[in-house]
Structure 1
Amino acid sequence: MDVNLQFWSTEGKSFFQRFLHWADILDPTVLLNSNETIEKSRLLLQTSAQTLQEPLQDKKVKEAWKLSLSSVHPGTGEIIPLVFRPPAFLPLATPLIFASLLPHRGAKQALIWQFLFHAYTAGFTIANGNATAKAEAFPYFVMTQHRLSGPMQTFFRKILPIPLLACLSVFNVMIVRGTEYENGIEVMDKNGKVIGVSQKAGLKAVQDTALSRAALFGTAVIIPESLLYFLNRTNFLLRNPHALTPLRLLMTVSALGALLPVSFSVFPQLGEIKRDDLEKEILSSTEETELFYNRGV
């Protein structure tokens, strides 16, 4: 079992534990470290006899964990490409999702921005054991093909994109990670010994990740839009309409920044599945009542 998964097995048993760790791991400044520094940190964790028993007591060891967890894939042990590491997600995804949800003059602009957003999240999800597909310019296409006004235009411009974004986030993860529940993923015992390959564990891993991703984007968009709905009627915005765009950006960044560690923490990184929920061939291979797998991010 990779040291990152060993960490989550002891330090990620509760949502509160996972949330505190992810809030620390998502610090963008860790992106400034070189691959050589990351490799040295991994070596320290692998050679220190105390790291797994007392992982956060020593400051140097704590920093090594932060680098390893933020930069190294727990399934392969390889360093994740810089732009797809978890700390890079907020700085890169926020402007893309913000631009994709702005009112556009035509469907072409909407499609381009939404494609870029979903393309980036696809790369992120693939690099971290997950994936996403592409975009939803459908509301803008409808508005440009049919002249809508009043409540219908509000529906297609303001309301529909939010649940559509959440649904497509689920759809995208399910599509690109389809091989995990079609071919199965490795399940292991508490000591890290691989017991077999399970399609049911793969399906559970993908479903949990898809649900957390939909909740992240759906909630992160609906909060700013709901606040702006009321703020639009204030004297400040009536007198300063140009302040709407930077205010929306600020709210989007704040919502995503607050919800990102929550999304990553909802389900354990080291997923658990009951022995009775697995395939018959795995049941005959072990007497363990609970088995584990890498869920991905």
Structure 2
Amino acid sequence: MDPNLLYWKSNGQSLLSRVQIWVNLLDPAFLISSDDEIQKARSLLEGGGESEKDASALNLTLSSVHADSGAVILPIFRPPALFPVSAPLVVASFLPHTTVKPALLWQFLLQSYNAGFNYANRNSSSEQGKKTSLKQLLLIAGTVSYATCAGALPQIVINRLNVRSAPIQTFLRLILPIPLSAALAFFNVLTVRSEELETGIQVFDSNGNPVGMSKAAGEKAVKETALSRAALFGTTATIPNLLILLLQRTRLFQRKSLLVGPVRHISVAFVLGLMIPVSFSLFPQVGTIKKEKLEEKLQATAVDGQLFYHRGL
């Protein structure tokens, strides 16, 4: 088992402890580390030890190295990059646009980045030594295209139907994006990582030894990650939009409507920043699957009634 997975297997047993770990790992300073520095940190980690230097090396590898392939993740798709890259995209995608084109543009950029992040941080245990297939590339392109159009649907409806009613506009701009954001985030993970559902992922025994590929574990890993991403974007849409609905009823915001924009931007970025470590922590990075839910050929290898798997991110 990879050193990163060994760490997650023995640490972060509770939600609070996982949140604390991810708060440290999401430090943007890790993004400026070179590939050589990351590889040196990984070599140091593989050598063992419990020094302060080893703790720094551990955080660097956990935030920068893929746990299945051992390859350094592109900086833009590393976990610490999620907030600085996606925050402006999320804020812009929630804006009340006046035409369809900007709504489509910002949704395209957001959904493209989400697809890239989901793919870069997937479980790739069944793809070692293989290149990305044409089928997978087409699936990712289709996911981005569909999610872009669906994400811009409220603005499309407003423009095509020439909606002027204030209550209907409020519903389309503030209420509909809440379930829509959560559903599209779930859909993005589910389709981009669909290969894990078809081929399965590597499962390990209690000693960290690989014992085979399991579709059941792949389904559980993808579902957990999809739910965590839906929680991230669903919550990021819910709290700011409900806040705007409440503030628009106050005299201050009715007299000074220009205040709505800054409050919206700040609240979206704030909630997104808080929710990223929480969403990453909803499920363990190294999950367990019960013996009875495994394929028959793997049930005999399950120790203590369960096997372990890498969930991905």
- Whether TM-score is above 0.5 comes out as yes
Is 1:66 the equivalent of 2:59?
A: yes
Given the alignment, which residue of 291, 294, 311 partners 1:275?
291
Given the alignment, which residue of 195, 217, 229 partners 2:211?
195
3-state SS, counterpart of residue 76 of structure 1 = coil
Match of 1:55 in 2: none
Give 1:286 shift: 4.7
Match of 2:248 in 1: 232
Q: Which amino acid aligns with 1:164?
A: L
Q: How does 1:9-28 map to 2 (within 5 A)?
A: 9-28=9-28
Aligned counterparts of 1:238 and 1:62: Cα–Cα separation in 2: 52
Over aligned residues, Cα RMSD in angstroms? Answer: 1.6
Is 1:81 the equivalent of 2:93?
A: no
Match of 2:177 in 1: 161
- Structure 1, unmatched stretches of 5+, are 52-57
Give 1:29 shift: 1.5
3-state SS, counterpart of residue 140 of structure 1 = helix
Query: Would you say the 8 A contact 1:93–1:117 is kept in 2?
Result: yes
Q: What per-residue deviation string (whole Å, max 9, x for no partner) do you get for residues 123-160 of structure 1?
A: 11111117874322111111111122132222112211
Is 1:171 the equivalent of 2:171?
A: no
Aligned counterparts of 1:194 and 1:79: Cα–Cα separation in 2: 22
Please give the TM-score of this superposition, normalised by the length of structure 2.
0.88
Match of 2:32 in 1: 32
Moved more, 152-161 or 129-138: 129-138
Q: Which amino acid aligns with 1:139?
A: P
Aligned counterparts of 1:288 and 1:158: Cα–Cα separation in 2: 49
Q: What per-residue deviation string (whole Å, max 9, x for no partner) do you get for residues 18-70 of structure 1?
A: 1100011111122121111111111111012x34xxxxxx3212111110111
Is 1:290 the equivalent of 2:306?
A: yes
Query: Would you say the 8 A contact 1:185–1:201 is kept in 2?
Result: yes
- Structure 2, unmatched stretches of 5+, are 124-139
Give 1:111 shift: 1.2
Give 1:167 shift: 0.6
Give 1:257 shift: 1.0
Give 1:290 shift: 1.2
Q: How does 1:208-219 map to 2 (within 5 A)?
A: 208-219=224-235
Match of 1:54 in 2: none
Is 1:6 the equivalent of 2:22?
A: no
Aligned counterparts of 1:146 and 1:287: Cα–Cα separation in 2: 60
Query: Would you say the 8 A contact 1:15–1:265 is kept in 2?
Result: yes
Match of 2:155 in 1: 140
Aligned counterparts of 1:227 and 1:179: Cα–Cα separation in 2: 39
Aligned counterparts of 1:273 and 1:31: Cα–Cα separation in 2: 33
Given the alignment, which residue of 93, 96, 99 partners 2:92?
99
Aligned counterparts of 2:185 and 2:20: Cα–Cα separation in 1: 25
Query: Would you say the 8 A contact 1:186–1:293 is kept in 2?
Result: yes
Aligned counterparts of 1:240 and 1:154: Cα–Cα separation in 2: 18
Moved more, 147-156 or 1-10: 147-156
Aligned counterparts of 1:272 and 1:4: Cα–Cα separation in 2: 16
Provide closer, same or farther for how the CA distance between residues 276 and 113 of structure 1 changes in structure 2, counting only shifts above 3 A.
same
Give 1:262 shift: 0.5
Aligned counterparts of 1:219 and 1:3: Cα–Cα separation in 2: 33
Query: Would you say the 8 A contact 2:203–2:210 is kept in 1?
Result: yes
Aligned counterparts of 1:264 and 1:287: Cα–Cα separation in 2: 27
Give 1:11 shift: 1.1
Aligned counterparts of 1:234 and 1:139: Cα–Cα separation in 2: 25
Query: Would you say the 8 A contact 2:12–2:18 is kept in 1?
Result: yes
Moved more, 26-35 or 213-222: 26-35
Provide closer, same or farther for how the CA distance between residues 287 and 18 of structure 1 changes in structure 2, counting only shifts above 3 A.
closer
Q: How many aligned positions are there?
A: 290
Give 1:279 shift: 0.6
Please give the TM-score of this superposition, normalised by the length of structure 1.
0.93
Give 1:288 shift: 4.9
3-state SS, counterpart of residue 208 of structure 2 = coil
Q: Which amino acid aligns with 1:15?
A: L
Q: What per-residue deviation string (whole Å, max 9, x for no partner) do you get for residues 263-287 of structure 1?
A: 0001000011011110111124455
3-state SS, counterpart of residue 77 of structure 1 = coil
Moved more, 25-34 or 242-251: 242-251
